[in-house]
Amino acid sequence: MDSSETFRSRLAQGLAVLTALVAVAALVAFVGEEGPTALLSTLAPVALVVAAGWALLWNPRVELTAEGITIVNVWRTVRVPWRRFRHADTRWALSVTTDQDVTYTSWAVPAGSGFGARLVPQRQQHGEWAPAQRKLGSSGTAEAAAMAIADRVPRRPGADERSAEVTVTPNTRVLAVLGGLAVLAALSVTLG
């Protein structure tokens, strides 16, 4: 299977858009009331709010590809090759456990309703991940992601996958942008 699937919380995406709209409306109202010079003191704080909404609510996701599972959170990105995957849990949010008994949890894919949890396939059958019997679609819930994972887990990994390791990388660009905007916002509020 060479296509990728991406899972995100639709609620979080809606909140990110709402946050951006409210921040921009506040900027327009403030500049309309105080004049164009107020733009200098309010642009950085508004940009910080919009960027933080994107980083906290829109950007976090779980991607399933032919190579494995990628969990993008605010602080870091984790790539788990299929060879290293052992099981997934959907109790509070999607959690992926590796063959080294290390668990990584996604901020982006929270657990769904009790009904959705009952549709998740059995975790293990004879030492292998059980394939899903039903689809929830890309609804952005942990259960939907777990079912998609169950459909994708290779039964017999190839020799090239055996050497693949789990990689954890910090999201330095996102953190640098947020940090820079926070400094600019603090300066503009203090000096403005």
Q: Indicate whether 124 pLDDT > 50.
A: no
Q: Which two tokens stand for residue 162?
A: 């055996």
Q: Indicate whether 133 pLDDT > 50.
A: no
Domain boundaries, the chain: 5-59+172-191, 62-170
DSSP 25: H
Residue pair 59/9 in contact by the 8 Å Cβ criterion:
no
Neighbours of 179 (CB within 10 A): 11
Residue 19 host element (H or E): helix 10-34
* Averaged pLDDT score across all residues of the chain: 83
162 — pLDDT class (breaks 50, 70, 90) = low
**Neighbouring-strand partners of residue 62:** 7, 71
Residue 152: what pLDDT? 83
Residue 51 phi/psi, 5-degree rounding, is -65, -40
